[in-house]
Structure 1
Amino acid sequence: MAEALPPEVTATLSALLPGTDPVSSALRAQLPWARVAGRCGCGCATVDLTVDHTAVPPAPPHTNPAADAWYVEPEDAGAMVFTEGGYLSLLEIYSASSEPITTWPKSRFAPH
């Protein structure tokens, strides 16, 4: 069963989708209707997402990942946002180290 987005997931998605471009704006507009549908089996903080398609329209066509960035701290970690059919579908956290990241860091990302 889907669960409400934890505050740190919402903060991470908001930080990864800044600005007024049509894709970021549309994906941010989905946040109130997004839910956690599953979690990664490796124990990392990655979450599968589902969005109520009847409540909000899809984002315009775009490539995946819809957003990605490296964290400032820890500097060997990053996050990516994936979509399916214009709707949020996955928030992935990854690390260049061999240890999975089990909690969402503060959403401070390195400049591109």
Structure 2
Amino acid sequence: IELPPEPPGNCSKQLQNKILDLYTKLQNGKTNLNTNIQRQKCFRNPSIYEKLVEFCGIDEKGTNYLPELYNPSVWGPESFYKELANTQEKEIIKQEEKKKLMKKEQII
């Protein structure tokens, strides 16, 4: 990967002053880029995460470990929270039905 060549000419004085002002604020600790980004309304968009993951092609379960050490892609869907929640809900319903059946048998 190479950087493109420098554009011909100079940037406007207004742009240069704006960049210098921002750089000075960063150096003096008067501003924080992360805080500024987090304050922006578009950053608080709840669906931005899914959009960024899709746009950038990010593997949410990816890792920098060697696959021999840690490989989350070998886990089936039953290992993730949605499927675990479904299984847990089914089990709770079974237990409730079992309790109801036992109460009916005790009454009779």
Common fold: TM-score over 0.5: no
Structure with greater Cα Rg: 2
Higher relative contact order (CA 8 A, sep 6+): 1
User: Normalized per residue, which structure has more strand?
Assistant: 1
Higher helix share: 2
TM-score (norm 2): 0.17
